[in-house]
Structure 1
Amino acid sequence: MIAQIDALIEQSGSPKNPPEAASERTSLAAIIAGSNIPEEQRNVLLGVVVNAMSLQLANMTSAEADVIERCCNEVREHNDYSTNANGARLFDTVLLWLVRFIFNRLELTKGDDPTGTYLFERDDGSLPHEDELQQDFFRWVATYAAGSDLEPTNIASGRADIRLKSGPERLVVEVKREEKDCSFDALFKSYAAQTTDYQNVSIRLGVLLVLDLATPNREGTPHLTSLFEMRHVRRCNESQSRLILIVKVPGRRKRPSDLTKLAKAKRS
């Protein structure tokens, strides 16, 4: 069973890393096997992990895999990822579930999941607050990442939006909404300083999650692969850069059928 899990990990397409991080990944099944769970329960758990992991891999689209590969290639040379097992675990976890979150939110209808209604154009023209995205993503990630908490205080002498923890390390997800310019360059200029300040005492890896309200999606919703970008921040007198994964969540969306109505209205 351990060999099966290790084989699934190898098949996942995860980029190869320096020995420390690679060893952490390939020993995942051994960690489960070496836990304090009674042997008869451990065998059941191993089977569940195999099935859950194989289901994720079997149903992951090439677009999702491309985003994960691109971001991992960008972060793999960073010391807090390549030589810090907790750092790699945190980044990989938040990356995977961010990709799955965006996939989910780009697919589900308002009728089937009313919690995603805030992502669509409203009849009265009002715009949602960033709290709606923050709570939405927290509900999602807390289900998969044990130890996640919402708005913890005393983080960089302030309050963080979402924190994930692994051992002594933490990774903070900063959540914003943007109404004027949601280009990656503009988001970086506006929010990089705050996002990286939450990295002062732990791994220099973080996430900026932005609700894009800048432009009504009158031509349709952006492709998943266009919504993720890694950026480096180099602070004075620091030898190692800080990394931000910027993720945009399209807002003010229209249903596909509404796009047809809009196009016909323009022609008349």
Structure 2
Amino acid sequence: MWVAGSPDCDAAIGYNIETAEDPGLVAAIANITTVEPRANLPERYSSSLLTLASRQERHPIARAQALILFTTLSFAFSRTNLTAGAIVGVDYLFNRNRTTPPPERDLQKDFFSFIQSTAPRQIAVRERSDRGGGRADIDFVLNGVNVVAELKKTDADHDLEGLARTYGLQTAAYQRSSCTFCVLMVLDLVDRRGAAAHIRERVSVQEVIPPAGKTRYSVVVVRIQGMLRAPNELK
């Protein structure tokens, strides 16, 4: 399932997410990899997520998790399509300077700024300390339950499974005392000749099991492509 309900999380929500009637958000993400090429992808995924959120109005934490995922996927779609200079703060995606590549904080500032125009803005905290013994990049907090978004950058050529292997344990560590659902967003600085893979190849749910225990964490891995060129510059 997309989230393994920990006792603390279940008590806060008042029911077990794993056994809820709804099939879970993983089905909405699955649409990205199974949708027909000509389908209206944004409409398909947003409809699934918003329907799930509306059905869970009586469970505010589960609803918040749905909105966090909706916001995360919306950000990924937005940054897949925006042109350089379209809005302030996205030029880092088109920075192809190998000597001074964009820092990780550019992604953090961009994502946090995006969140400010969305529903989860009221529960989002940047650079939150005392999370799993460390500091979380973005921490969504509601009624004592946390969902952390860990933001990274890499110039190593990883697939989504590889990103989870590399950064998944750190991401899961921030959730040790809360729900076992979290977000890992990675700025990919591998030069793919200025192009980016289809969005369905850059989002997935990966399972992470820390070696210290048996608890399974569901990590939503999102790869944000950097080193971009405009379509008319691709060769």
Give the alignment's TM-score, normalised by structure 2: 0.73
Matches within 5 A, 1:1-268: 18-19=20-21, 62-65=40-43, 85-122=59-96, 125-144=99-118, 145=120, 146-214=122-190, 216-218=191-193, 220-235=195-210, 238=213, 240-259=215-234, 263=235
Q: Distance in 2 between matches of 1:218 and 1:203?
A: 39
Matched residues in 2 for 1:21 and 1:221: separation? 31
In structure 1, the gaps of 5 or more residues are: 1-16, 23-60, 73-81, 264-268
AA aligned opposite 2:140: L
Flag the structure with higher helix content: 1
Deviating 4+ runs (over 6 angstroms): 68-72
Superposition deviation, residue 174 in structure 1: 0.2
- Paired with 1:223 and 1:20, the residues of 2 have a C-alpha distance of 28
Q: Secondary structure at the match of 1:230?
A: strand
Change (3 A) 1:69 1:188: farther
In 2 relative to 1, CA 19–133 (structure 1 residues): closer, same or farther, beyond 3 Å?
same
Cα distance change of structure 1 residues 70 and 226 upon mapping to structure 2, 3 Å threshold: farther
Aligned residue pairs total 195
The amino acid across from 2:109 in the alignment is: Q
Partner Cα separation in structure 2 for residue 167 and residue 62 of structure 1: 35
Look up the match of 2:12.
none
Compare relative contact order (CA 8 Å, sep 6+) and give the higher one, 1 or 2: 2
Cα displacement (A) at 1:138: 0.6
Question: What displacement does 1:142 show?
Answer: 3.1
* Unpaired segments ≥5 residues, structure 2: 1-18, 25-38, 51-55
Q: CA RMSD in A?
A: 3.0
AA aligned to 1:111 is: G
Moved more, 239-248 or 63-72: 63-72
3-state DSSP of counterpart to 2:123 = coil
Give me the whole-angstrom Cα distance separating, in 1, the residues matched to 2:196 and 2:211.
39
Counterpart Cα distance in 2 of 1:89 and 1:68: 14
- Between the aligned partners of 2:72 and 2:91, the Cα distance in structure 1 is 19
Q: Which of the two has greater strand per residue?
A: 2
Greater CA radius of gyration, 1 or 2? 1
Cα deviations by residue, 1:218-238 (Å, 9 ceiling, x for unpaired): 263221222111011234575
Matched-pair contact (CA < 8 Å) for 1:196–1:242: yes
Give the distance between the partners of 2:80 and 2:131, measured in 1 at CA.
Answer: 32
Q: Deviations over 1:217-265 (max 9, x none)?
A: 3263221222111011234575641110000001000001111xxx2xx
